[in-house]
Amino acid sequence: MNGTSSPTCFFSFGPEDSFISKSYEGLRYHALPPALLALMTGGSVLDVHWASLGTITDSWILSFKDSSGTQNLAWGASIPSRLEKVLSKLSPSQHLRVFLGPSSSYIAWDPTLIRWSSLPASLEDTLQSWLTPSGWRAGAPRMVTWGPDDAFFAMSEYGDVAYRLGDKKREDWATWRETVEDWKAERGFRWSEVAYIALDPTTPDQFVAIRNDGTWSGSISDENSTALEAFAHNVFRLAKPKSKTKSPPPRAHQQTNGHTNGAIAPEDDRPDPATKAAYAQWSNSTNLLFASALAATTPKRAPKKLQIRSQSSTASIPKSSTASPSQPRPTPHSNPSTSVPHANLLTSFPIFPIRHAMPSPNLRPPKGDPAGLRACKHDMERLLRASGITGTSG
């Protein structure tokens, strides 16, 4: 299937660290209910318009285009009975939006109707205030999402916003609270800058919040953090893959009819083991010095929002019959542990640890200046080339 043929993007949290999401990257999911997984991988789903996972295993909604090109709607056996009655009478549409919340709560709307049940009192009051006998005073809902312990967010099409940050005494939604408070503290912040917010109906303080400029905040279980990050990076457009630095081609004489063109072969500039070791030592000590300088200038404050980075499963429809198993993240290479020095500002740039014969007398001044780098351009190029991530200079 083509997971990006309809432009709507969403991220739905479910029980037991399950989720389903759609962005311009395509579909991702993990630990879906068996019935939903079988439907999506069975070949009958051509495109997914919207999906919502409830708080129990077989509570889910899927709005999709089937293999015949017809708009279709499916749901799990454990959705609230009142919602099932609404959906059974509804003409399937790609404009349908549904959110399944805690304690059998839900909301469902499309251009022709809106239905909800068992919403948090403050959220229901908000929706009622948007309605008048003649229609929507503030426009139809654009986003409605809520979780346990009095946390919710709602935005209308006209830009009206209401939210709760969870029970302040319990601090169950600390990261969500900090995110909203940081936004409000920004000079000139407007809620119209918010592009997408989804709260986890099953677990406090799991959410994703994305702004129109691409900045985002979120928290999720470690195994699903890569999926959340991928969603945030691809919610507006398909992000460009991170390119790997290509090694320059081997240098050689240019051949013309079996003869060289007379050019002098450049010196082999591949770093030797000693230079690589010097770079590793210099890089480590430089990192420590910069960390020390940063500590000296940065005021102490509470840790920022949770940003876990780890591998999660990815799947596309209908390539596989089962969800892809999570793959363990490779253990990164690490340098020997070194304690960070006490906070101190830099008084000079870290000295380059290698010396080479100077190709020209004009380079003696920069190498002899005690207040400078004590290295020429060629020294710096050779040392940085030993990092393995630089190409040839132009």
Confidence (pLDDT) at 262: 39
User: Are both 82 and 226 inside the same structural domain?
Assistant: yes
CA atoms of 66 and 38, how far apart (whole Å): 14
Who wins on pLDDT, 376 or 45? 45
Specify the pLDDT at position 169: 84
Q: Quote the pLDDT of residue 272.
A: 73
391's tokens: 């190409």
Domain with residue 117: its CATH number is 2.130.10
Check whether residue 196 and residue 291 sit in a common domain.
Answer: no
Q: What pLDDT score does 286 carry?
A: 72
The more confidently predicted of residues 282 and 129 is 129
User: What average pLDDT does the segment 284-302 reach?
Assistant: 60
Q: Do 228 and 346 fall into the same domain?
A: no
Do 89 and 182 fall within a single domain?
Answer: yes
More confident residue, 259 or 20: 20
User: Are both 190 and 280 inside the same structural domain?
Assistant: no
pLDDT in tens, 353-374: 655 444 444 445 555 666 666 6
> Which pLDDT tens digit goes with each residue over 298-346?
554 443 344 433 333 334 344 333 333 333 333 333 333 344 445 567 6
How many structural domains comprise the chain?
2
The answer to whether 180 and 163 have CB atoms below 8 angstroms apart is yes
Classify residue 314: in a domain, yes or no.
Answer: no
Residue 252 inside a domain? The answer is no
Provide mean pLDDT across the span 28-38.
97
pLDDT cut 70: percent of the chain above it: 62
As to burial, measured by CB atoms within 10 angstroms (0-12 exposed, 13-18 middle, 19+ buried), residue 310 is: middle
The pLDDT assigned to 177 comes to: 96
Q: pLDDT confidence of 270, banded at 50, 70, 90? A: low
What pLDDT is attached to residue 298?
53
pLDDT value at residue 310: 32
Please tell me whether residues 279 and 172 are part of one structural domain: no
Residue of higher predicted confidence among 243 and 329: 243
> Does 294 share its domain with 366?
yes
What confidence score (pLDDT) does residue 257 get? 38
Residue 225 lies in a domain: yes
- Residue 68 DSSP one-character state: T
Residue 221: pLDDT above 60? Answer: yes
pLDDT of residue 222: 94
Q: Please indicate, yes or no, whether the overall pTM of this predicted structure exceeds 0.85.
A: no
Domain boundary at 182, 206, 233, which?
A: 233
Q: Are residues 25 and 134 in the same domain?
A: yes
Given the structure tokens 């920022």, which residue do they identify?
304
Strands of the chain (E only): list them: 10-13, 19-23, 26-30, 45-53, 60-66, 71-75, 97-100, 106-110, 113-117, 131-132, 135-136, 141-147, 151-156, 161-165, 194-199, 207-211, 216-219, 255-256, 259-260
Same domain, 375 and 279: yes
The domain boundary residue, chosen from 233, 263, 281: 233
Kindly state whether residues 279 and 378 are assigned to the same domain.
yes
Give yes or no for a contact between 256 and 367, defined as CB atoms under 8 angstroms apart: no
Domain that holds residue 22: 10-233
Domain boundary among 233, 252, 281: 233
pLDDT at 168: 82
Any domain includes 280: yes
Residue 251 banded pLDDT, cuts 50, 70, 90: very low
The residue that leads in pLDDT, 98 or 389, is: 98
Does residue 144 sit within a domain? Answer: yes
Higher pLDDT, 328 or 196: 196
Residues of the chain with pLDDT > 90, as a percent, come to: 56
266 falls within a domain:
no
Residue at 322 is within a domain: no
Give me the pLDDT at residue 208, please. 98
Of the two residues 3 and 206, the one the predictor is more confident about is: 206
Q: What is the pLDDT of residue 344?
A: 66
Determine if the peptide bond prior to 318 is cis (ω within 30°): yes
3 belongs to a structural domain: no
As a whole number, mean pLDDT of residues 265-273 equals 58
Query: Are residues 18 and 140 located together in one domain of the fold?
Result: yes
Q: What is the pLDDT of residue 240?
A: 78
Same domain, 143 and 207: yes
